[in-house]
């Protein structure tokens, strides 16, 4: 799944229905803009592995809703 391929209405729907926590929303929004994990980690002051872990949680939550 490529998050940056979602449309704006799909992104809003997922934010409203996936029960993301704050960090997950931030990562999801950045991924939807096509930002890579390394840059996300830098912007959010996370380790690369931390950003990757959150991104995986986001993906799992999205798959439950779709």
Query: pLDDT by residue for the chain (66 residues), tens digit each?
Result: 799 999 999 999 999 999 999 999 999 999 999 999 999 999 999 999 999 999 999 999 999 999
Tokens of 31: 């991924």
Q: Do 10 and 18 contact (CB within 8 A), yes or no?
A: no
pLDDT at 13: 97
Q: Which CATH architecture has domain 3-65?
A: Orthogonal Bundle (1.10)
- Ramachandran assignment for 45, one of left (phi > 0), alpha (psi -120 to 50 degrees), beta (any other): left
Strand, coil or helix: what is 19?
coil
Please give the torsion angle defined by the CA atoms of residues 31, 36, 38 and 42, in that order, rounded to the nearest 10 degrees: -50
Write down the pLDDT at residue 50.
98
Q: Model pTM?
A: 0.94
So what's the pLDDT on residue 25?
Answer: 97
């Amino acid at each position: 799944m490529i998050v940056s391929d979602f449309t704006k209405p799909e992104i809003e729907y997922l934010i409203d229905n996936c029960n993301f926590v704050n960090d997950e929303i931030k990562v999801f929004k950045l991924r939807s803009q096509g930002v890579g994990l390394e840059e996300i980690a830098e912007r959010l002051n996370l380790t690369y592995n931390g950003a990757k872990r959150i991104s995986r949680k986001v993906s799992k939550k999205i798959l439950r809703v779709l």
